[in-house]
Amino acid sequence: MILKERRTDVNSVTNWNVPLVWEGTFDPVVIDAIYKRMDPRVAVIVFAIGKYTQFIKAFLKSGEKYFLVDFRVTYYIFTDHKENVPQVKLGRSRNISVITVPSAKRWQEVVFGRMKWATIAIETQIVNEADYVFMMDIDSVFHNRFGAESLSRLSAVLHRIYYKNTHRDSFLYERRPESTAHIPAGKGDYYYTAAVWGGYVEDMYKLVKQCYTQAEEDSKNNIEAAWQEESHLNKYLLHNKPAKVLSPEYLWSDYDAVQADIKVVRISQLVKDYAKVRPN
């Protein structure tokens, strides 16, 4: 990373010696310039199933203002109501691709379905159209710059609730040995959110395919991981370390007060009435 200034209030390196990215640990002008010379194509995968289509417009409009501005970006919107995808003015070299997927009766089906449909879309379409892929939650809004400092082979985001916690046994890992997402007590690095993560298209494909395969295996054995895809994501990243870890700046929540060490909120999950937007 290109250092702008040194933060002394946070840890900016992981224990496997890769960057832990915070505001104040990189120079945004320099790092964007480096990546722009490479001219990468970036895919953003979001799912807007059922009533979640109401969040598309704000996500896209804020993304156009703050997400990898002046880079080539395609938003891949997976939805069961393509007629509800709004028209949003996009910048140069910015596009939308709508992919139709089935409706769901349970919100857990939507969550697990993300790994399945992302696997299929990457191997059949996105692999030919992107160099990097991000998976994001549609019920989120960008508030500040989300730039090239987020790009790497694999980038994972620290969960806002657990990022200060050093006691691994308090993380919400899947602890049942019967599940393929099982992480034994005393093991683990960090607890990562499944609401934002990304990486090279090839590495993201390996990740989503393995998580999908493991979830299918669990289903055959009549078990569902404690936190669905997030449990499988954390298991994968324990054994396939991210090349960058992003601070909770890269996924906060409007439900929570901003902590003193969060100098900027780059993207935040919206407050919502789950009873009104989820299928169950």
Low-confidence ranges of the chain (pLDDT < 50): 2, 4
Residue 125's contacts (CB-CB under 8 Å, 6 or more residues apart) are 97, 99
Question: Among all chains, which residue has been given the structure tokens 């160099």?
Answer: 131
Phi, psi dihedrals of residue 148, rounded to the nearest 5°: -70, -15
Rounded CA separation 89/61 (Å)? 8
pLDDT of residue 16: 97
Residue 252's contacts (CB-CB under 8 Å, 6 or more residues apart) are 160, 258, 262, 265, 266, 267, 268, 269
The catalytic residues are: 230
Q: In this structure, what token pair is assigned to residue 175?
A: 């602890």
pLDDT of residue 277: 61
- What single letter denotes the amino acid at residue 247? S
Burial bucket for residue 82 (CB in 10 Å: 0-12, 13-18, 19+): middle
pLDDT of residue 4: 46
Rounded CA separation 225/113 (Å)? 14
| Domain range 40-270, CATH class | alpha beta
pLDDT of residue 226: 87
Contact 133, 198 (CB under 8 A): yes
pLDDT of residue 274: 66
Q: In this structure, what token pair is assigned to residue 27?
A: 């120079």
Containing H/E element for 196?
strand 192-200
Domain ranges of the chain: 40-270
Phi, psi dihedrals of residue 265, rounded to the nearest 5°: -100, 115
Order of strands across the sheet that contains 252-253: 140-142, 267-269, 252-253
pLDDT in tens, 34-57: 999 999 999 999 999 999 999 999
Containing H/E element for 47?
strand 41-48
